[in-house]
Structure formats: structure tokens, C-alpha cells
């Protein structure tokens, strides 16, 4: 499975008193990467939830910190799907600093697919196909039924 890359610039609010990015931000950046990965494959979380009553609930998360990031660093979040089962999926992430291509963090998240009542359900086949697709949708296109009126 191919990596999808998302750029993020470190904001001042994401740093601590020492000017280093606080560790909690990496999980937020994983979420940003995951959302952009899905959009690049032609759908959004919102579409899954509203149209197909399928929510991807985080069941596990892991992050290994390798090197610090600092205010104003331009980062690349690399995201890919590692595994898809009938009712769960696992994403893998790497975060690099663009200026020197240093690996800052790596991690993964495991998601259970549930309905709006938090009952575990199968991942709709159409999303599995899109997630496994090597074809990238037009990055400037809006997901179905979510464009401007």
C-alpha cells in the first residue's frame, strides 16, 4: 500500500515551554494524516458516518518519538493502511521534518468500525475498496454531496 503525504507546519500553540512540540500533538497529526488519506481516496469520515452509519473508533494508538519537532518546522505526515479486517482497520504513520528529512515519530492506530450506537459492525465494502485503492482521487475535489451549493 502506498503512503499518502500531508504537510503540517508546527504552530506556536503546539510547543511547550522549551519550544519543543508537545507529545500529544503527534496523535492529532496522525488524525490529520488519516483524514487526508481518506479524502485522497474519494471519501471523508463525515460521509462514512452520515451516509453509511459507519464510524471508525480508535481502539488502540501507539507513537514512538524519535527526534523533537520545533515551532515553524514544516512536517510531512506519511499515512498508509496496514491491515483491513471485516470490522477493524490499522493505519501506520511516519512524521518527518521536511528541512532535513529526519524521522521524528512513527506510530499506528487500530480502529473498530461501529454504528452510531457504538455497536461493532462490518466496514462497508465500498470503503474497503477505496482504502485499498492505489488510485488517488483529485485532491481538490470535494467528497460526494459535500461541495459548495
Residues identified as active-site = 16
Distance CA 24, CA 3 (A): 23
* Distance, C-alpha 76 to centroid of its chain: 12
> Within the chain, where are the H helices?
24-40, 45-52, 125-132
If DSSP states are collapsed to H, E and C, what string results for 74-105? EEEEEEEEEEECCCEEEEEEEEEECCCCEEEE
Beta bridge partners of 92: 80, 108
Amino acid at each position: 500500500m502506498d503512503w499518502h503525504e500531508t504537510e503540517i507546519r508546527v504552530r506556536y500553540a503546539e510547543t511547550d515551554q522549551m519550544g519543543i512540540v508537545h507529545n500529544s500533538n503527534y496523535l492529532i497529526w496522525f488524525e490529520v494524516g488519516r483524514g487526508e488519506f481518506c479524502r485522497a481516496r474519494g471519501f471523508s469520515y463525515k460521509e462514512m458516518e452520515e451516509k453509511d452509519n459507519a464510524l471508525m473508533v480508535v481502539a488502540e494508538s501507539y507513537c514512538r518519538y524519535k527526534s523533537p519537532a520545533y515551532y515553524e518546522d514544516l512536517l510531512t505526515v506519511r499515512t498508509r493502511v496496514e491491515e483491513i479486517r471485516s470490522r477493524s482497520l490499522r493505519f501506520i504513520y511516519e512524521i518527518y521534518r521536511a528541512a532535513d528529512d529526519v524521522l521524528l515519530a512513527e506510530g499506528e492506530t487500530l480502529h473498530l468500525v461501529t454504528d452510531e450506537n457504538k455497536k461493532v459492525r462490518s466496514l462497508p465494502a465500498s470503503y474497503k475498496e477505496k482504502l485499498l485503492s492505489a488510485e488517488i482521487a483529485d485532491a481538490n475535489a470535494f467528497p460526494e454531496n459535500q461541495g459548495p451549493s
